[in-house]
Chains A and B, each alone.
Chain A
Amino acid sequence: MPGKLKAKIVAGRHLPVMDRASDLTDAFVEVKFGNTTFKTDVYPKSLNPQWNSEWFKFEVDDEDLQDEPLQITVLDHDTYSANDAIGKVYIDIDPLLCSEAATVISGWLPIYDTIHGIRGEINVLVKVDLFNDLNRFRQSSCGVKFFCTTSIPRCYRAVMVHGFVEELVVNEDPEYQWIDRIRTPRASNEARQRLIFLMSGELQRKIGLKVLEMGGNAVVGYLQCFDLEGESGLVVRAIGTACTLEKISTFPATATHPNNSSPSKDMKDSPQAAPSTLGCRSTHSSPVHSASSRLSQGFSVSVPTLLFAGMKPRHRSSEVPRARQCRPGFGEEAPGVPLSSGPPTPLRAQTFSSFSPSKSYSRQSSSSDTELSLTPKTGMGSGGSAGKEAGPLKALLRQQTQSALEQREYPFFTLTAFPPGFLLHVGGVVSARSVKLLDRIHNPALGNTRSYKLLDWNSFTADEPETRDAWWEEIRQEIKSHAKALGCHAVVGYSESTSICEEVCILSASGTAAVLSSRFMQDGPLDTEHRLSRQPLCVFSTGSERVEGDMGSSASLGFEEVVSPGCGFCHIPYDELNIPFPAQLTYCYCCRRYKVPDVLFTTIDLPTEANVTGKGCLIQARLCRTKKKAQGEGNATAISSLLPFLEYELHTQLMNKLKLRGMNALFGLRIQISVGETMLLGLASATGVYLTALPSPGGIQIAGKTPSDITYEQHISTMQKKINDTIDKNKELYEINPPEVVEEIIGSPIPEPRQRSRLFRSHSESSDEVSELDLSHGKKDAFVLEIDDTDAVEDIHALLTDSPTPAGFYSCNTEIMPGIQNWTSAIQMFTSVRVFRLNANLTNQGLNKIFSDLCENLLKSLYFKLRSMVPCCLCHLNFTVAIPEDELIQVAVTAVAMSFDKEQPLENGKQSGEKTLIKAITENDEQLQFNLELNAETSSHNPLSSPKGLSEVGSHLSARAPSVDYSSFADRCSSWIEQLKLKAHTIRRGSVKTTSSLEKASPLPEGRSRSLRSNRSYSGSSVAVVKMTPLSFIPGAKIIKYLGIINMFFIRETSSLREEGGVSGFLHTFIAEVFAMVRAHVAALGGNAVVSYSMKECVFMENPNKNQAQCLINVSGDAVIFVRESELESTSVQTQSATTHTSNGGEGT
């Protein structure tokens, strides 16, 4: 009996009139948890009842606490007939089970009815007393923290990243049970809502158990999805990354350390962090890092990657028909894949034992064997390739990293942003799809279908989860082998999705093959001694161009192994001689040492340390393909034979559009394939950027195949001209300047390195890679489009029809927009949904055009709606497409518009400054956490700043000093707006210590004006304002506490569609209601924002003839408390003086 749940019903307000005669309501409340129900008294004749009930106490297992929601039902008492339900509130108890999250739920929560929507509000108080249960065999996992955020949450530091966790549970869908025929829609909806609540609770508990087993205490990047498989059931599945997190004390101990001579300190650092912030840097560029990066010499892919992955379905397709027959004996399906020999649920096996070579390892290698038959013989584990060109020691180091990962069955990470130094190299996008036929559940025993809690999967459902597990396993293995072929041992930015149409289901998984540093994966931190001895190397770890500029001198000092992280992740991880696909490799344009590919596609966020030229933009490829109506296996076969073409075309489109914008890399790539009865829909979204390290993309050249006719030639040349013009315009728009120009300007403070890099180049030009180093947009490099058929012509038209974003707007689907900083506090999260009805009998071209226009128009509408926020950037612009019915296309977008200050002087040449700023602003928290963490590790012997640590830092600074021109740095710095943050950043880098005193004059007024702006709009409202954002941060604010995960599922149905304003009115209300409920629950937890918010499901069905519609929405996010940075101002003043002091001190040394 390890938990006592207490609930108190305080009052209600705005209740609906239930008694027409009196225009009033006699309301009472039922509070239910598990099988226990309590009731309040009836509060007669009021729309604003004051129940003020006693505390209802439930004594329950913590297992139940995790699985079950608290269910509150408000009813109208009726003496003569049955009591009418007004509505319900489901409260997720989970946030109360974790000591670091919320402690009480208290506030006004909307009373929700699936037919009527929100009907008033109820004020409740909920608490949990949890007793410790140390039972080793317990089934609960209370205390494991869950985060939707796909990076290390802002007020935590990662001690260790354990790796991939996944789980799925299956049940019958109440909507398809026999009883649904006789019960009311309301009862059916409520059954479904409750079931999904239970299932997600159970799922979360099971994942929690796995995390505990691995030794972790949190799941980051938790992604839970529903598959509404119709008759064959309801699958709830989740993936995430298990981590061990440690909370960072949020507020700096302000008064205590004003004179502490720590070299870097800002308001975000906790004081102890300060002394070793420099020191901690060292770890990124520790020998391990440089060695491995060198070994892994090499880097990425993309074009071919996709293509490569795209072919997979074809391979799969041959198996599809079999999938159905072989459900119990999964082994038949893919005889070559050793999966079949594994335990039925391999994931449940211990995957994190450090010693056993483990089944997964052997399986992996053999599976890659089978997979590699498809691909050029490469990979064989990058360890091998590393060994080829490096000394044995390095190979060993590499293998260490490798093995740490390979012990895992799936070296996957759902994270998209990483602590600096974690991500070493990126290989490219890997993806796998598989088409499956859903099996009908055997006609279930009628008796037990009503019990929703099917913990023991007996009888009919017994093999269900196994089947689904096996399906996903197959895909994950494929992903793993793809990654291997790219010379990578890990997959980051990993996600899974499905698209279901009738009985066909497409399972998709994608991620980015990468090489990771082992430092987060070893059991326990590196020993301190080792670390300290490495400190002198730390200098170059803060990837930014300026540091990179220093490289020349540093190299001369003898640190030749060091790679700037600003470009390090671009270097190819695979073996140059065995490229798994045709790619053009060149030497990195930053460091000139390692090979980089010509383009890079990834599913992750732009690493904060990346060197980017100019701004980024959203790039979308859209495609529609008609397909014949078919049933069963035939349908599945048809779909799987279409998939590769679809992916290929999407890829070509992406590539063309990328080149058209003069960019060379895609981040946050998300390809969605949706299946309908008569068509397939593909939508790829990503954020294009120009990575400084990668070669400048060649132009697009059009070539006609049959140059016979003059008019044709003319046509081609006009098109060519148009394309060239567009490229030029885009380059201007996104401020993409050829790298030389950038170097000229940023080079001024540090002339020496520039010359050096020039020299370096000319040197290499004389070598045999000349052609690759040609920066001109010569025809040699141009991407040739041959227009020999109508398809190609259409492609080109499609290229040119994308209208540019209106002035003042930028867009991206990632967290940060390169080139934009100084966000104001004005953010506007929104969801927009459109459904488009098609005419029958459209050609592929016609469909494509319509689909493309639909997306374009939606974007245009968004720009128009948000015009008052200009200048602004639409971030995390996430499109979801679906084919709800034949001839219907549904597009849903959730994103956040964030405005930014334009007044900052943004000369083109200031790229490096800009870039540093972005980092400083948006990612500072993260970096700081990292510092803190390292600090805690290094200074474990000498808490706070010991003289020893200091002197080390000092000496290290002085070693660098000769190459830095302080005054020019200071000049530049003084014009920057985000002074405080910048300082945090720059000082940590140790190279610009004098700037802090110079810039000190301005930051405070700035801070004030910002705070004025931020406070302007909301004051004195009786309802607490809750911000929502799909991003993991809130601009101008600091998240001080995570209160728990929000994961809500709602169904809304109506049989009076016209009266509710038609489909649009119905959905508009419903989405507004969902927002309202999310906000209310967050506010009840004590929070004031939801971060990493996403609408994962929006299933809309209508039947206008019957005047009916139904919609299901699933949303999730992290409830947080944030504090405006302006409110921390007083603290910052103190820290600032401290900083000035210390930096001066530092100079003296």
Chain B
Amino acid sequence: MSVELDVFVGNTTIMDKEVYQLWLNGYTVNDAVKVRIEGGVMEECEASAEVLLSDTMDQYRTFQMCERLLHHPAKLANQLLFQIPPDRQAMLIERYYAFDDSFVREVLGKKLSKGTKKDLDDVSTKTGITLKSCRRQFDNFKRVFKVVEELKGPLVENIRQHFLLPDQLARDYAAIVFFANNRFETGKKKLQYLTFQDFAFCAGQLINNWTLGAVGKTNNMMEDMDVDLDKEFLQDLKDLKILITDKDLLDQHKSLVCNALRGKTNVFNEMEANFKNLSRGLVNIAAKLINAKDVRDFFIDLVEKFIEPCRSDKWTSIDMNLYLTHYTNSAHILDTFKHHAVWTRYMGVIKSCILRMYHD
């Protein structure tokens, strides 16, 4: 004796948010039922485990049928198969495209290829996120990446329009696409302390300041304008090397910064002692960015060359802010230093990235 077939179809498609989340999280029907039972929905609604199982299966089926539409969220609004109120549609999309920070940290900056996908079971074991959920998230990244790759215009806007995502989520996806495209290294042990939101912030900075789209040089309709860094700018960055190669300039810069900071910080001595090293670090990073390989190491370099020395000297974030402000501004006072625009564009991003990244 068994139920052979059991379906429920509503004119307005009924979707339970809780079950949807369980489905997204990759729970099997049975596990989902267990979770629901523990959640106490049974007592609440005088239901039995049987009823719960039937409902869960039914919902899962509905979600599976919807999934194909969720791959092209714009279709969800003008498909005829399911009558779903717009607020529900938005919820479905938003949750479908939501991702776990711990998962994204694992794949951030990696090539969104089949190879990476094969390694997802390791990611799954490591993060405790079900493989199914990992696959969905990975496929989402890849899908967004592919669609945006072929589109012109601003990245975030494209994502928002094509995937009907809320602003913040669209920005996060922009960051993921940007990282994947430039293959930034984020997996090294030294970078483990950084959260996805740290990187997303940095990505936002880079997109807004260092890409082609950033400076308005383009007519707004170029491919990859927000994804690729502005090559011309990277080329110009090499000119900054003068700040460390020219001994006078370096000394001058140091004294300007030190004068400004004296008495304002507890770590002045360490700062003064380290100035040249730190300055070399930052300028060298800038000079090397023209090489794609060094772009990948951008974050690791920032940490190794700047953040770690400062941290070992126990700078506070306030110290850091002070230092970077004066370090940036002092360069403009230098007589022989001519590359003010490039310096501002470079240091603006560096400063906000470092400040964001400077935590435990």
B48 engages A860 (CB within 8 Å) = yes
- Assess A1018 versus B2: contact at CB under 8 Å? Given A829-B10, A863-B45: no
Say whether A1026 contacts B83, CB under 8 Å: yes
Which residues of chain B come closer than 8 Å to A890, judged between CB atoms? 5
Q: In A994-1047, which residues have CB < 8 Å from any B CB?
A: 1017-1023, 1025-1028
Question: Given A861-B8, A864-B45, A1072-B9 in contact, is the A837-B2 Cβ separation under 8 Å?
Answer: yes
Expressed in whole angstroms, the Cα–Cα distance for A1022 and B77 within the complex equals 6
In the complex with contacts A831-B9, A867-B45, A1076-B1 CB distance below 8 A: no
Measured between beta carbons, the chain B residues less than 8 angstroms from A836 are 1-4
Is B316 positioned at the interface, with any CB of A under 8 Å from its CB? no
Contact for B75 among A14, A110, A863, CB less than 8 A: A14
Residues of the A chain whose Cβ atoms lie less than 8 Å from the Cβ of B11: 828-830, 1026-1028, 1075, 1079
Please report the C-alpha to C-alpha distance between residue A1026 and residue B89 in the assembled complex, in whole angstroms: 17
Chain B residues within 8 Å of A1069, by CB: 65
Say yes or no: B86 contacts A1020, CB within 8 Å: yes
Interface residue B279 (Cβ < 8 Å from any Cβ of A):
no
The answer to whether B298 has its CB under 8 Å from any CB of chain A is: no
Once the chains are docked, how many angstroms separate the CA of A881 from the CA of B118?
Answer: 49
* Cα distance, A962 to B164, chains bound together (Å): 68
Q: Known interface pairs A1022-B77, A1023-B80, A1071-B9. Does A865 touch B2 (Cβ–Cβ under 8 Å)?
A: no
- Those of B47-106 within 8 Å (CB) of chain A: 47-48, 50-52, 54-55, 57-58, 61-62, 64-65, 75, 77-83, 85-87, 89
Instruction: Please tell me the number of chain B residues within 8 Å of chain A, measured between CB atoms.
Output: 41
B46 within 8 A of A: yes
CB contact between B55 and one of A837, A861, A1026, A1028 (< 8 Å): that residue: A861
Residues of B within 8 A of A550 (CB): none
Q: Which positions 4-25 of chain B face chain A at CB distance < 8 Å?
A: 4-14
- Quick one: closest A residue to B48, CB to CB? A860
A834 interface residue per 8 A CB criterion: yes
Report whether A861 and B54 are in contact in the complex, using a CB–CB cutoff of 8 Å.
Answer: yes
User: Is A1061 a contact partner of B61 (Cβ separation < 8 A)?
Assistant: yes
Looking at the assembled complex, report how far the CB atom of B93 sits from the nearest CB atom of chain A, in whole angstroms.
Answer: 14
Report how many residues on chain A are interfacial, defined by Cβ distance under 8 Å: 58
Report which of A110, A121, A1100 forms a contact with B5, defined as CB distance below 8 A. A1100
Interface 1/0 per residue, B309-348 and A, CB below 8 Å = 0000000000000000000000000000000000000000
| Contact among B8, B51, B78, B83 for A1022, CB-based, below 8 A | B78
| Contact present for A834 and B12 (CB under 8 Å) | no
Contacts of B46 in A (CB 8 A): 806-807, 863
Main secondary structure of the interface of A (DSSP, over half): mixed
The answer to whether A832 touches B8, judged by C-beta atoms less than 8 angstroms apart, is yes
- Which partner residue on chain A sits nearest B53 by CB separation? A861
Hey, what's the 0/1 contact readout for A825-844 against B, CB within 8 Å counting as 1?
A: 00011111111111100000
Whether a CB of chain B sits under 8 angstroms from the CB of A90 is: no
> Which residues of the other chain, B, contact A1072 by a CB distance below 8 angstroms?
9, 13, 65, 81-82
Tell me if B79 and A1023 are in contact (CB < 8 A): yes
**Whole-angstrom distance between the Cβ of B294 and the nearest chain A Cβ:** 39
Query: Does B5 lie within 8 Å of A833, measured CB to CB?
Result: yes
State whether A864 touches B47 (Cβ < 8 A).
yes
- CB of A845 to closest CB in B, whole Å: 14
B77 x A1021 contact (CB < 8 A):
yes
Q: Are A1064 and B80 in contact (CB under 8 A)?
A: no
Q: Determine whether A976 belongs to the interface, using a CB cutoff of 8 Å to chain B.
A: no
Chain A contacts of B61 at CB under 8 A?
1061, 1064-1065, 1068
Complex Cα distance, B77 from A1048, in Å, reads 25
> How close is A406's CB to chain B, nearest CB, in angstroms?
44
Query: Would you call A850 an interface residue if the criterion is a C-beta within 8 Å of the partner chain's C-beta atoms?
Result: yes
A395 at the interface (CB under 8 A from B): no
Residues of B within 8 A of A1017 (CB): 85-87
Q: Bound complex: CA of A1019 vs CA of B77, how far in Å?
A: 11
**Inter-subunit contact A850/B1 (CB<8 Å):** yes
Ordered nearest first, which 7 A-B pairs have the shortest CB separation? A835-B5, A830-B10, A829-B11, A1017-B85, A1071-B9, A806-B46, A1068-B7
Chain B positions within 8 Å of A, measured between CB atoms, are 1-14, 45-48, 50-52, 54-55, 57-58, 61-62, 64-65, 75, 77-83, 85-87, 89
Q: Contacts A837-B3, A1021-B77 given; 15 further ones with Cβ under 8 A?
A: A118-B81, A806-B46, A830-B8, A830-B9, A839-B1, A861-B8, A864-B55, A865-B10, A865-B55, A1017-B87, A1020-B86, A1021-B89, A1025-B83, A1075-B9, A1079-B83
Chain A interface residues toward B at CB < 8 A: 13-14, 108, 110, 118, 121, 806-807, 828-839, 850, 857, 860-867, 888, 890, 1017-1023, 1025-1028, 1061, 1063-1065, 1067-1069, 1071-1073, 1075-1076, 1079-1080, 1100
